[in-house]
Structures are given as structure tokens and as C-alpha cells.
Amino acid sequence: MGESERGEAAPRVRVGFWCANGHDTRIAFAHDVEVPETWDCPRCGLPAGQDQDNPPPPPRIEPYKTHLAYVRERRSDEDGAALLEEALQRLRARRGA
């Protein structure tokens, strides 16, 4: 399929993006669109910016949190002890102990 069948190609501008690993990626954009500040590097997946000397830093990866870790963020040890005691009292009352 040539240009005669598809029509003329839109004017393009090639923009370079660099990631923290030093990978250089050249992306062609239509001349009349807004070029994004960052682009995902196709080689390593890190964010890439247009400033070769100052690429965006790699994203900070949060470690996996367990359910207990999330609970501990919301409740203090004293709250947990009070809730446990309340639950044990209800259980004992239900059992008739």
C-alpha cells in the first residue's frame, strides 16, 4: 500500500527520549500533536524523558504488604488488644463460660 492509496503522510517530528539506563528511543509524532514529557522505554520499561543529561528517575517500587501490615497501619497495638478482648468476651458469653 503506497502513498497514492493512503494519501499523503502527515508531517512528522522525531523526538528523542532517554531513560535512566541510557537507552535512546526516537519516536515519530505528528507535527501538530502535543509531545508527552515522558515515554516508557521499550527496552527496559523505565520512564524516559527528553533531557538526555537528566532522565527521569526509576519509579520507587513499594514492597508487598500483607493484610496484617495494612491493619497495623490503621490500628495501634492497644486497639488490637481491646478488640481481641471484646471478641473473646462475646465468644465466652455465647459459649456460656
31 is known to lie in a ligand binding site = no
34 is known to lie in a ligand binding site = no
d(CA 14, CA 5): 24
41 is known to lie in a ligand binding site = yes
19 is known to lie in a ligand binding site = yes
> What's the burial of 47, exposed, middle or buried (CB within 10 Å: 0-12/13-18/19+)?
middle
Give binding residues as ranges.
19, 23, 41, 44
Which residues carry a binding-site annotation for Zn(2+)?
Answer: 19, 23, 41, 44
